[in-house]
Each structure stands twice: as C-alpha cells, then as structure tokens.
Amino acid sequence: MVSVVAKTGSGEHRRVAQISVGNAPRGGVKFTAEGRGFVCSTSQNTISEIDAVALEEVRRIEVGHGPRGQGLLPGDKYLLVSNSGSNTVSVVDLELNVEVHQIPTGRDPRHMGINKSGIIAYVCVRGDGYISKLDVSALADGYPQGVAELAQIPVDLEAHPYSLGIDPSGRRVFVANTQAAYVTVIDVATDETHRVDVGSTGGRGVAFSPDGDYALVTLENSSTIAVIDIETLRVTRQIPTGSGPRGLVVAVRSPAW
C-alpha cells in the first residue's frame, strides 16, 4: 500500500487514502512533470504507476528481480530502475510502458542519481562496494541498448553504499554508506573520491540545503543528520532527529543553515 496524506486544516494533516500496489513498495514515489507517479514493488518485480488525481494504481510494468531505486531522465520519457535481486538496471520506456533494456551491474544495486543534463547516472552497488557510473546519453536518441557502464568508482566493499545525491552545482556526488562512519564524496570531473567522517554508521538519505552550500545525510544509527559544508567537506554540525532516520526532503523556504 501507498498512503496519501493531505493537509486538512491549519497545521493539520491526515491520511486520506491508501493505494494498493504490488508487494513490498520501496524507495518512495517518483513523479513526472505531468503527475505520473511510479513506485517499486520489490517482492513482485514490478513498478506500479499511480494516478495522483484518481488515487489509484493504473498499471504494473515488469522489470528485474527486487526493484528498489528509480531515476527519471530529463524529459520523463525513460525511467531507470535498480534491480537488487538480478543485479541489473532496467530502462523503462514510459511512452510504451514497458522495460526495453537491462544493464548488468554488481551485486545488489540500490538508489541512484542522474545529472541535470541526463547524460550520466550514478548507481550505488551496495553488495560490491562501488558506484556504477553509467553513460545514458543514448537515451536522448531513443537507443536504450546504447546505455553502458563507464566506470566502477570504488567506495569500500564493507561500506555498503546505499543512496547518493548530486550536489546542485553538479560538481560532486555525496554517497551515504550504511556500514561506514563516513560519507564518500566523488569529484565528478575526475571520479576521485574523498571520505568525510560523520561519526556514525547508518548513512541512508542525502539531500541539500536550498542555497546549495550544504549536504545533509541521515545517520540511522545515531539518529542525527550530518550537515556537511560542500566546499570544505567538513561536518559543521549534527542535527538530532527521531529514532532511526532514513529518507529526508528539504523545504524550499528553509531557515539559514
């Protein structure tokens, strides 16, 4: 089930609907500019499309085994899906509503990020401890079979990279590692990596401050958010949260960091 929460009054929110989808939905819902929503059903090897107006599932698209992460290409014609069970990334054509290609990866690919130009995708390969750098430029020409892996950027076999985010300037990729007390930072121009000590294992979600000056990483095991200065790559503070934080989003009108 996917729950729908709406604002029902001043300072009041409540669940207004539940949408039945495939088994074990994961990774949140990704929406196109036109409002088509997609969610992975990990145990059913499908992605479900959700109608955000009718609040219902409208179709299921078969992909690889154990889909977990998604990435929408600019223009919303293609969706990438990481299949943690079959060790592949699916390319889904959203006009045909069908999987059109699978790209092999290492063990247990998870969450991903796609740069603004839609040329490069970065995928966390959790089981083998690296980031798969994919050239997805062929999709602009409607050629899914042209998607190829450019590099395997090492993190650490025991770090288990889980999710990542590309900073707003497009210069660096920040990787949250579940089993390492550091965040891995990739220089986009050179693929060189740096480690930022965050003081705890359990990295899960990555987001950025509205001004683009700070990376924010949830640390599940310490119940905090690490705030990292993007220029100096230093932790400026730790923000306490509730127990076991994972995903996070940042409001556009956030206070100064």
User: At residue 245, does pLDDT exceed 90?
Assistant: yes
* Paired tokens of 59: 């179709």
Q: How far apart are CA 70 and CA 78, in angstroms?
A: 11
Cβ pair 59, 50 in contact under 8 A? no
- Give the side-chain half-sphere CA count within 13 A for 67: 30
Instruction: Provide CB contacts within 8 A for 143, sequence distance 6+.
Output: none
Tell me: the pLDDT tens digits for 204-216? 999 999 999 999 9
Tell me: the pLDDT tens digits for 56-94? 999 999 999 999 999 999 999 999 999 999 999 999 999
Alpha-helix runs per DSSP H in 104-222: none
DSSP string, 209-234: -TTSSEEEEEETTTTEEEEEETTTTE
Please tell me the pTM assigned to this model: 0.94
Closest CA to 115 of 55, 164, 62, 42: 164
CA 25 to chain centre: 14
Phi, psi (deg, nearest 5) at residue 105:
-135, -175
